[in-house]
Structure 1
């Protein structure tokens, strides 16, 4: 990090000192947690609305149509109108469903999505929790969402929901292996599980090119496996409309459906943040050795712009997949993981370990 980068450490310390002056230590901590939660919720809601609008416009462009155009300028507030519609709709519970588990499932899925956002560093000095096992924490917490998915499918008392939940569970558990192995390859070269330390290790170059071939292979595997783990096309077998109506959330409506919808885009945001952090340097600027003038200009771009710019680049790749490739069958989906991605990931980890031991990276 250079001196030209905006550091939020002073701002966060000032907020903590101000709260401590007017409140007791216990209430100051409670106030800090409330402020952090509100800031996180507002950030996620705003980013998700932008992602929904971007996906619809990108889909329209790729299909030679306009996308949303009626609500707001060029359909810019169509996503907000959809949110209001879901807020006003009634949440209907099937008569023979397990009412408690049916209502609990969307909360579990959404809560795990928000918990996984905690250790990310969004800009210099702007991090909620600097835990020394940040990457492990994100992967572990994200995997809990499969419990909510299985719970939703079983509690709905609907055969389509149950089949969708079973598919989603098999899909998430399978592709978690390749996601973890692709991250291990970069962790081996950076030498740390801490997200902040991984970002600092890329001050002289991002791992996507500093790590050579193992880093590139890891990034490709991570994008493919993350798309499958997110249940997004072409891996959306859990929500295949032609086969299962809407998969595990067939019976959900209103705000309960909105929670599943929000968690899907939040998980896509988490996967994009992880890719931006591990492979593209997080909030680190782009530096090219020997081009001092170019590097000096890059220093003037704030860190949070770098971070979210990289995040939305990865989001664009995931959206691009959806509107490019056709949906595959469930047997093809599992074969891709167990016969191809996982063996390649294991070999790539060995290759990355060799690069790390001999320090062949730049």
Structure 2
């Protein structure tokens, strides 16, 4: 008797491998809880590590030891700071709006801890016999979720500056708002090319789409613009203008101390981790090992977590290197870089990428040549505009383009009016009488 062969599409569908979203949907509640706890701990643990690493790396670059007292080699300095901050005196200004003042650090820290939930850390694995993916959620719009979480944190900074009731925090909050508006646009535009190539807004799909080539060299202009934008987005040197010590004392957190200041500190470093993990996912192949396919043993099991964190630490070291190397930008230079350079170049690049995806091979060559010509023209126009001399008919100009009065400037004499003339005569008579009295 011959066995019956079923051609039911349900059986055929059951034999197909499950997608990332289907695997995550089958996760039991305890596994979701474990993943959530681990993701919430990644940010604070990396913050503890980054503080020591940054101090020691900058100390080595500047020929000084860095922290070397707390623990072996000074590696417990972050733990000492974590113990010290809660016990510091808490000072609240009398002019502060107390409710908003307390809410602002929470608004900065909580979204930063949530954003890592959409980042894929590895492929399919087995945890206690349960097949799953090393990711908490794989949303169809995961890219937008990460962008939203990294952008909401600025509300905490703005509210902190406003609620402190002090001018310097207010200036820092306003700077941060303008900074995010400027560089959020450039960052969002740099992701358009990635979405066009991957044809998906899911972070997991974007990683899988890079198995034949990473986007950091296929979409090099987008990668460079994203790197610049992520430094401006996180308020890190040389773009740390909202908390410029030389101008604003401490910026938006001048009036904060104790644990509230620690939450701002935590939010800054967790945001560094988020934008670096996002860059790894979008441009550096995510958890994939370079130059091998998804079927390679190097991209199976738990090994890809190592590749992901190696790429993450390379980008984090870039933050440290910039802080130790470059001076702080002037604010007008910073705004000019965002609005006059990054955004226009990004728009031209998006047009070129759209052309790549829609025109045949011969047309692509023409478009590439045209895009290069447009970029050269835009760069030349910007450089010519920057080199235009400032009119110096009456006032000389310094090297920075800011006019200063001449050294031999003579202030014109203003004719005295009636009240001023009478007051001068009265002073002269008084001094004359005093002189006569002293002589007698």
Into which bin does the TM-score normalised by the smaller protein fall? 0.7 to 0.9
In structure 2, distance between residues paired with 1:89 and 1:35:
33
SS of 2:121's equivalent in the other structure is strand
Structure 2 residue 224 is matched with structure 1 residue 227: no
In structure 2, distance between residues paired with 1:51 and 1:115:
19
Find the counterpart in structure 1 of residue 273 from structure 2. Answer: 269
Find the counterpart in structure 2 of residue 324 from structure 1. Answer: 325
SS of 1:71's equivalent in the other structure is coil
Backbone CA RMSD of aligned residues: 2.5
In structure 2, distance between residues paired with 1:359 and 1:270:
37
In structure 1, distance between residues paired with 2:248 and 2:32:
41
In structure 2, distance between residues paired with 1:320 and 1:15:
40
Find the counterpart in structure 2 of residue 126 from structure 1. Answer: 134
Alpha-carbon deviation of 1:90? 3.1
In structure 2, distance between residues paired with 1:162 and 1:119:
33
Cα distance change, pair 122–299 in 1 and its aligned pair in 2 (3 A): closer
CA contact (8 A) 1:156 1:251 kept: yes
In structure 1, distance between residues paired with 2:24 and 2:339:
45
Find the counterpart in structure 1 of residue 162 from structure 2. Answer: 154
Cα distance change, pair 245–194 in 1 and its aligned pair in 2 (3 A): same
Structure 2 residue 60 is matched with structure 1 residue 58: no
Gaps of at least 5 residues in structure 2 are 1-19, 124-132, 365-440
In structure 2, distance between residues paired with 1:265 and 1:166:
21
SS of 1:69's equivalent in the other structure is coil
SS of 1:66's equivalent in the other structure is coil
Q: TM-score, normalised by structure 2?
A: 0.71
Given the alignment, which residue of 146, 166, 176 partners 2:174? 166
Structure 2 residue 152 is matched with structure 1 residue 144: yes
CA contact (8 A) 1:186 1:352 kept: no
Cα distance change, pair 256–297 in 1 and its aligned pair in 2 (3 A): closer
SS of 2:210's equivalent in the other structure is coil
In structure 2, distance between residues paired with 1:141 and 1:297:
32
Find the counterpart in structure 1 of residue 308 from structure 2. Answer: 307
Alpha-carbon deviation of 1:229? 1.2
Q: TM-score, normalised by structure 1?
A: 0.86
CA contact (8 A) 2:288 2:299 kept: no
Find the counterpart in structure 2 of residue 77 from structure 1. Answer: 76
Find the counterpart in structure 1 of residue 338 from structure 2. Answer: 337
SS of 2:116's equivalent in the other structure is coil
CA contact (8 A) 1:123 1:304 kept: yes
In structure 2, distance between residues paired with 1:329 and 1:359:
45
Q: Which has the larger radius of gyration?
A: 2
Find the counterpart in structure 1 of residue 264 from structure 2. Answer: 260
Alpha-carbon deviation of 1:138? 1.0
Cα distance per residue 1:298-319 (max 9 Å; x no partner): 7688111111111111111122
Alpha-carbon deviation of 1:89? 1.7
CA contact (8 A) 1:189 1:353 kept: no
SS of 2:206's equivalent in the other structure is helix
Cα distance change, pair 359–150 in 1 and its aligned pair in 2 (3 A): farther
Cα distance change, pair 299–115 in 1 and its aligned pair in 2 (3 A): closer
In structure 2, distance between residues paired with 1:121 and 1:45:
19
In structure 2, distance between residues paired with 1:302 and 1:134:
24
Cα distance change, pair 141–238 in 1 and its aligned pair in 2 (3 A): same
Find the counterpart in structure 2 of residue 180 from structure 1. Answer: 188
Structure 2 residue 211 is matched with structure 1 residue 203: yes
Find the counterpart in structure 2 of residue 20 from structure 1. Answer: none
Cα distance change, pair 149–359 in 1 and its aligned pair in 2 (3 A): farther
Cα distance change, pair 301–101 in 1 and its aligned pair in 2 (3 A): closer
In structure 2, distance between residues paired with 1:70 and 1:117:
33
Q: How many residues align?
A: 333
In structure 1, distance between residues paired with 2:144 and 2:152:
13
Gaps of at least 5 residues in structure 1 are 1-7, 17-27
In structure 1, distance between residues paired with 2:212 and 2:32:
34
Find the counterpart in structure 2 of residue 247 from structure 1. Answer: 251
